[in-house]
Chains A and B, each alone.
Chain A
Amino acid sequence: MASLQSRLDEFKKAFESGAPPYNAPHDAIETTHRATAALKASGLENIALKVGDRAPEFTLFNQDHVKVNSAELLRHGPMVVSFFRGHW
C-alpha cells in the first residue's frame, strides 16, 4: 500500500492540475495556498499542545450516539487521536 503522504501528494497534483475530475479553477487553488500560508505564518502550529503535555480529558458521542470517554479508553492502553476537518 502506498504511503499516506504519497497518496496525498498524488491527490494534490491531480487537484492542482485543474483537470477533471476536480476541475479546480486556478484562482481557487491560489486562494487555498494563500490561506495555508497565512495559517502557517500565524504560528498557531506552535501553540498547539505538544509532547510532554497532559492531554485534556474528553467525553464525546461516537457515530452510533454512544458516549466515549478518553480516560476510560486510556485505562486499557495508549490512544491515537486524530483531528480532521470533516467528510468534505
Chain B
Amino acid sequence: MMELEALQEIDSEVRALGGRIVALTPERERYTRNVHKKLSLTFDILTDLHLKTAEQFRLVFALPDYLRDLYRSFGSTLDRFHDEPEYRLPMPARYVIDKEGIIRAADVNADYTIRPEPSEAVRLLRTLRA
C-alpha cells in the first residue's frame, strides 16, 4: 500500500516523461478496484491472476506453513484474495522497462520492508529520454 501511495506521487512526472506506471498483484479485481478507489490512483492496478506474469519475471515464492498459519490468524486469507488454494506471493519488485522492452532497472528484495525510492525511477526515465 505504501508502495502504491509513493508511486502515485510520481505518476504525473512519469507521464510527463512519456512513461506509464502499472502495479501488478495476484489479487482479484474486486480487491484491486477497492484499493484503486481508496487511494485515488491515476495508474492501473493489474490482476496477475495465479501469478502468471510474476512467474515469468521469476519472482514467485510459496509461503512457509508457519507464515501461512500466521496470516490466516490475522484474517489474510490469500486463497480467497487470489482465487487459488496455494499461498504463493510475488517478491516485492520494481522494474523500469524501456521502449524496446529491455529492463533498465530492477529492484527485487526478499525483505518486503525495504523498497527503493520512486524518485530513482523518475531519474532513470529522464536519462532514457535524453
A: which residues have CB within 8 A of B?
1, 3-5, 7-9, 11-12, 28, 31-32, 34-36, 38-40, 42, 44-45, 47-58, 60-65, 68, 70-71, 73-88
Contacts and interface: CB of A to CB of B under 8 A. Distances in A.
With most chain B CB atoms within 10 A of its CB, the pick from A35, A73, A77, A84 is A84
Interface of A is mostly: mixed
Interface of B is mostly: mixed
A28 to B, nearest CB: 6
B84 to A, nearest CB: 13
Given A44-B61, A81-B97, A55 B114 contact: no
Nearest to B41: A63
Interface string B42-58: 00111111001110111
Contacts, number: 232
20 contacts: A5-B114, A8-B114, A31-B70, A35-B63, A48-B93, A56-B56, A63-B35, A63-B37, A70-B97, A74-B101, A78-B18, A78-B98, A79-B20, A82-B3, A84-B3, A87-B25, A87-B31, A88-B71, A88-B74, A88-B76
A75 B18 CA distance: 10
Contact of A80 (B14, B54, B70, B115): B14
